[in-house]
């Protein structure tokens, strides 16, 4: 099956999750480390609900389960209208395991300690697009700060498949965001050694504390660490942030919008592209 045919298959069904037949269900049981319980059973979207990004963009998005994988896309494809997929449950201190395989370009991420809509919280960046950050953090609706050390463009083969990431400075070509330093950032050479271009990459995200201490690992390698309690940024108000999100919050997956005024345009999310998620589990701490 060609890459184009796979994308078309991913986008055939809109709305609720597809249910797998008996043999396929057994094959798609989540593969999790000891101590983690599944947040996604590989069969349907039980325990999750889609939510529009805003009242101005009321689409619930395209979220389906195919072959034990959550597929997220804009709805309609190429419309520039994104959405969130949000857990029904909330969590305070935890570690999250999740595997991601986004197309290029696809601007996505995992939000933790987020509100019921999924649009305000602390985001682990999976900006798999030009000048995007991976495994750093963003205060989504919480002061609009970026904590990251590098960004990436991509080298592609003649079929458009990403063969390697090309690192650059942490510079976002959009306006209104503040860049702050991480408390720890793996050397970019380490990141490039563990990252699997075009393949599945396993993220582990730890969130601990009222103003959380955030840590990310990719494929078992520690990549970024950031203590939100020590954050200083022009638009950051810690008490206002706690009033918005509380001590515990939801977890959300993102499909980004890219309207006509978006400076990244189709470089943020190309028409017909998707992100894929699997093996999602959580270990509650404390």
- The helix (H) or strand (E) run that includes residue 194 is helix 188-194
Work out the angle at residue 115's Cα, subtended by the Cα atoms of residues 171 and 254, and round it to the nearest 5 degrees. Answer: 50
Look at residue 173 in the predicted model and tell me its pLDDT: 64
Sorted by where each begins, the domain ranges of the chain are 3-12+29-284
Look at residue 28 in the predicted model and tell me its pLDDT: 59
Pair of tokens at residue 250: 């939801």
Looking at domain 3-12+29-284, its CATH architecture is Sandwich (2.60)
pLDDT by residue for the chain (286 residues), tens only, comes to 444 444 444 444 433 343 444 444 444 567 898 999 999 999 999 999 999 998 888 899 999 999 999 999 999 999 999 999 999 999 999 999 999 999 999 999 999 999 999 999 999 999 999 999 999 999 999 999 999 999 999 999 999 899 999 999 988 766 678 999 999 999 999 999 999 999 999 999 999 999 999 999 999 999 999 999 999 999 999 999 999 999 999 999 999 999 888 989 999 999 999 999 999 999 999 8
The CA R_g of the chain, rounded to the nearest whole Å, is 18
Distance of CA 246 to the CA centre of its chain: 21
CA distance 241 to 249: 12
Pair of tokens at residue 161: 């498949």
Look at residue 46 in the predicted model and tell me its pLDDT: 98
CA distance 195 to 151: 13
Look at residue 23 in the predicted model and tell me its pLDDT: 40
Report the DSSP pairing between strands 121-128 and 106-114: antiparallel
What Cα–Cα distance (Å) separates residue 130 from each residue in 38, 126, 170, 198?
32, 12, 11, 15
Q: Which residue has the tokens 């510079």?
A: 171
């Amino acid at each position: 099956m060609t890459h184009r045919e796979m994308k078309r298959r991913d986008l055939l069904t809109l709305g609720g999750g597809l249910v797998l037949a008996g043999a396929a269900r057994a094959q798609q049981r989540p593969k999790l480390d000891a101590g983690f319980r599944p947040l996604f059973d590989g069969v349907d979207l039980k325990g999750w609900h889609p939510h529009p990004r805003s009242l101005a963009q009321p689409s619930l998005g395209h979220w389906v389960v195919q072959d034990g994988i959550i597929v997220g896309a804009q709805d309609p494809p190429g419309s520039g209208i994104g959405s969130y997929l949000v857990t029904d449950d909330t969590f305070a201190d935890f570690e999250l395991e999740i595997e991601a395989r986004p197309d290029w370009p696809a601007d996505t991420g995992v939000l933790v300690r987020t509100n019921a809509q999924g649009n305000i919280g602390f985001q682990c960046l999976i900006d798999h697009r030009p000048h995007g950050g991976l495994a750093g953090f963003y205060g989504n609706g919480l002061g609009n700060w970026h904590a990251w050390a590098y960004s990436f463009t991509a080298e592609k083969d003649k079929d458009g498949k990403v063969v390697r990431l090309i690192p650059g400075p942490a510079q976002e070509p959009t306006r209104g965001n503040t860049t702050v330093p991480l408390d720890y950032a793996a050397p970019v050479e380490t990141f490039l050694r563990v990252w699997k271009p075009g393949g599945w990459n396993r993220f582990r995200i730890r969130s601990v504390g009222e103003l959380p201490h955030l840590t990310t690992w990719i494929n078992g390698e520690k990549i970024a660490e950031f203590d939100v309690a020590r954050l200083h940024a022009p638009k950051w108000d810690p008490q206002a942030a706690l009033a918005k999100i509380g001590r515990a919050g939801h977890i959300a997956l993102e499909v980004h919008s890219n309207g006509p005024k978006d400076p990244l345009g189709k470089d943020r999310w190309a028409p017909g592209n998707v992100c894929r998620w699997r093996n999602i589990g959580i270990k509650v701490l404390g």
